Structure formats: structure tokens, C-alpha cells
Amino acid sequence: MIIVISTAIAVASGVLVLAGYFFTLNLGGQPSILTNIRLVFLNWAIILAGFAIFVGIVNLLQVHIKKIQQKQKSLYSILLIVSLGITFLLAMIQPGKMETIFTTVQLPVEASLMALLVVTLTYASIRLVRRRPNLISIIFLVTALLILLGTAPLPFLGNIPGVSDLIRPFIAQVLAAAGARGILLGVALGTLTTGLRILFGVDRPYGGNK
Amino acid sequence: MMTGIELAGFSVVFICAVLLVGLSFLHRKKPFVFRDIPAFNRLRQAVGLVVEDGSRLHVSLGHGALATPQSASALAGLSLMRRLANLTSAGDQPPIATSGEATLTILSQDELQAAAKLSERAVFDPIAGRLTGLTPFSYAAGTIATIHDENVTANVLMGNFGPEVALLTDAVERENNFVLAGSDNLAAQSVIFASAQEPLIGEEVYAAGAYVESGPLHAASLSAQDVLRWLIIAVILVGAVLALGNIL
């Protein structure tokens, strides 16, 4: 019974929000009732998403408390819980200092991970030919190299004639842009059908038992 | 009252909905045959191995917020996870789902709970669906720990990722495990192509449901996408010809 009710609510909400996007104005040129309903539902969704973050953080705590109990790499978990506690306390006592935490701790850590990404991607590119030794992989690597050569000027030499002014713009603005648009059209169609499957109640990522 | 763009959008959605319903009935009568995507065949083998050796399946859903279009790939991932959770229900350990968005975490817990109840598994572990971080890199860092420490041998990364997905595929590679990865994000797709064992490119992410036999509407949605793709090709060609003739 619960699944019938939750499906009915989800489908009705989805249809109303979708209709609110298409029927924005009434005959008098004013915002339609569907637009107003859409805005109300979206506001509710934002409030729920905010509360979901709280639930998510409780979940994060549960995961790491369990890791500490099981003595499974517990040092990282202790560090996470202590950091979370300090951040929470600081936010309560001095909310203005939150930005300092983000710029002095969060940003440098994430920037270091971004730097690590450069090494990871370079290594992945080298392994690509070993993993999938085919024409597509070779085209992929040659294109990446040409774009890199065309983007970064060589020391003391500057731009490479032909690569920087002809090949790179042609690849980036013609071939890559066309390919990217094709992929994005495919993604858009996939998104549309996924959304419709949920509106039809076929995919139900809610409501427990099915 | 509708503007031109609203009318066009409504028409596309309406045509797609009609195609979905019509094609799902046709599929029931005579099942469609789709092109072979080797990644899904290998996924089936990897899931079989998970059940046999008593290890775990890990599904990572990315960090696409549910109220944005980026959530569609994660919803496709959730649908695939549900099916895979059913397939691995005979195994010793339930699957783990990680995500970088709290609403996705709640949905993944719900899916895992539903799969556990269906298989009459006595205990559902609520932390099997977990939030690993709220920013892209903290999410990646938290998920890497799951890949290394939770006896995982098969990984499915499906959702909205950025280039940080390379850290996840690298972690899987170090464990010498299976990974199938797909995203709706173009930068992530190029990274996945270079770094993942089994990459899904473009709309292949949304085809997962049809390839793991989730139901006729999944198969119909693939065919509907094909029909719409041909329509778009026709519109582009006609538009290009009209533009060349200075008519448009």
C-alpha cells in the first residue's frame, strides 16, 4: 500500500513540476497556477535536500564510528570525526571563521588532490595503449598530445607553427565540438527517457519494497 | 499559453512518452535486439564472480544533486544498482553504494533495503549506502577508502562525476579489480575512456537498464532514443540545407 501511495505522490509531483515548465503563463499573460505549484514544490525539494545533508553527515559519522570500533584504519576515521567536531564547534561559536577553514584547509587539500590527478591521468594515458591497443586509443592519445602541444608554448620557442594556429583550433573547435555536441544530444535523450521512466513509475528509487 | 520553445519542448517530451509506451508494447510481442556492448557482458561475469567468491559489489553514484539534470545518470545508476543487488542477493555480503550527494545516499539505502527484503536477507546494514564526501574531491577520497578496505572485487561507477573519477579508477586498478564506469559529464567521459577498464561513452550510461534486463520499458527507452536520434539528424540536415540556401 505504501508503495502505491509513494508512487502516486512521486508521479503527480513530477507531472505537475514538468507541466509547470511548459505552461508558464495563463491566458492573461500572468504566471500560471502550474508555475506557482512548480516553484512551491522546488522550494520544498530544496528544504528536503538541506535536511538530507544532515542525514548524510549522520551516516558519515556512523560509517567512521563503525570503522573505529572494528579498528579498520581507524586513524583516518578519528581524524575525520575530530575535524568534523572542530568545524561544527567553530561554526557554532564563530560562524564568520568558516570561510577561513575552507580556504586554509579544504582548498589546499583539494588542490593537492587535483595535482595528484595530473600524475594519475598521465599514467592512465600510458596504460591506455596497453589496455586497449586499438586505433581509437591511438587517435585519443595523438589528439591529446596535439592539443597539449598547441596549448602550451615550448620554452624559448613559443608557439609551434601549424600546431598552435591550425591543428589545435581545428581539433578543438570543429572535430571536438561536433563530437561533444553529438554526445551531449545522446546524454540529453538518455536524461529524457530516464525522467519519463520515473514519471511512469517504472523506475522507483523511493518507497522501499517493490 | 505557450511560447515557441515551450511548445517545442512539450512536443519532444510528448513524442518521447508516446514512443516509450508504444515501443514497450511492441517489445513485449517481439523483443528488440540491441548491439553488443562488451562492458555489460563483462559486468555480468564480474557480478557472478562476486557471488562465487563471497566478495562485495560496489556502486558509486557520483555527486549530481537530485534537483538538477545531472541526477539523471545517478538515477540510471540506481536502477542498475537495484538490478545488480537482486542478482548478488545470493552472495555472502550485500553491495555497497557510495555517493557524494546526501539525497542519493538516502535513495541508495532505500534501494539496498528493498533488495535485501526481497531476498529475505535477515539484516539490512544502513551504512551499506553511504555518503563519502560533499565536495567532488572529498567524495573521491572517501570512496577510495571503500574500494580498498571493504572486500570489493567489482565496481560500478555510474553518475555525475568530474575528472576526479580518475582517482577512483586508479584505486580500482591498484586493487586489480573490475570497474565499469560511465558519466554524463564530458570531461569525466574522456577521463573514464583513458583510465577505466570498461568505459561507457555518451548515452551508453542510460542503456544499462536495458542490458541487465530490467524490464520492457528500459528496452523501449533505448529504441525511443534511437528514433528521436534519427529525427534530430533529419532536423539538423534539413536545417543545414536550408541555411546553405539562405532560406533559414
Contact between B134 and B99 (Cβ < 8 Å) = no
Looking at the partner chain, which of A60, A62, A113 has a beta carbon nearest the beta carbon of B167?
Answer: A113
Between CA A193 and CA A175 the distance in angstroms is: 27
Between CA B186 and CA B160 the distance in angstroms is: 10
Is residue A209 pLDDT above 60, yes or no? Answer: no
Q: Which residues contact B38 (CB under 8 A, 6 or more apart)?
A: B198
The predicted pLDDT at position B170 comes to: 93
- More confident position, B190 or A96: B190
Nearest CA in chain A to B127: A63
The predicted pLDDT at position A64 comes to: 93
A63/B75 Cβ within 8 A: no
What's the longest Cα–Cα distance across chain A? 74
ipTM for the whole complex: 0.88
Q: Does B51 touch chain A (CB under 8 A)?
A: no
Report the pLDDT averaged over residues A130-154: 88
Which class is domain B37-238? alpha beta
- Report the C-alpha dihedral over residues A49, A54, A57, A59, rounded to 10 degrees: -90
Is residue A60 pLDDT above 70, yes or no? Answer: yes
Sheet harboring B198-200: ordered strands across? B129-131, B96-99, B56-62, B152-160, B178-183, B198-200
The predicted pLDDT at position A207 comes to: 59
A198/B131 Cβ within 8 A: no
The predicted pLDDT at position B88 comes to: 85
Contact between B77 and B85 (Cβ < 8 Å) = no
A190/B203 Cβ within 8 A: yes
The predicted pLDDT at position A5 comes to: 87
Break chain B into its structural domains and give their ranges. Answer: 37-238
**B172-209 burial code (b ≥16 CB/10 A, e <16):** bbeeebbbbbbbbbeebbbbbbbbbbbbbbbbbbbbbb
The predicted pLDDT at position A210 comes to: 53
Mark the ranges of chain B whose per-residue pLDDT is less than 50: none
A185/B232 Cβ within 8 A: yes
- Report the C-alpha dihedral over residues A142, A143, A147, A148, rounded to 10 degrees: -40
Helix (H) or strand (E) holding B142: helix B136-149
Q: In chain A, which residues have their Cβ closer than 8 Å to the Cβ of B173?
A: 127
Confidence at A208, pLDDT banded by 50, 70, 90: low
Looking at the partner chain, which of B114, B149, B224 has a beta carbon nearest the beta carbon of A209?
Answer: B114
Q: Does B227 touch chain A (CB under 8 A)?
A: no
Confidence at A4, pLDDT banded by 50, 70, 90: confident
Between CA B179 and CA A124 the distance in angstroms is: 14
The predicted pLDDT at position A65 comes to: 93
Nearest CA in chain B to A62: B127
The predicted pLDDT at position A165 comes to: 86
How far does A156 lie from chain B, in Å, by closest CA?
31
Is residue A144 pLDDT above 80, yes or no? Answer: yes
How far does A145 lie from chain B, in Å, by closest CA?
13
Contact between B114 and B121 (Cβ < 8 Å) = no
A120/B195 Cβ within 8 A: yes
Closest CA to A205 of B146, B99, B28: B99
The DSSP string of chain A is -HHHHHHHHHHHHHHHHHHHHH--B-TTSSBPHHHHHHHHHHHHHHHHHHHHHHHHHHHHHHHHHHHHHTTSSHHHHHHHHHHHHHHHHHHHH-GGGHHHHIIIIIHHHHHHHHHHHHHHHHHHHHHHHHHS-SHHHHHHHHHHHHHHHHHSPBTTTBSPTTIIIIIHHHIIIIIHHHHHHHHHHHHHHHHHHHHHHHHTTSS--SSS--
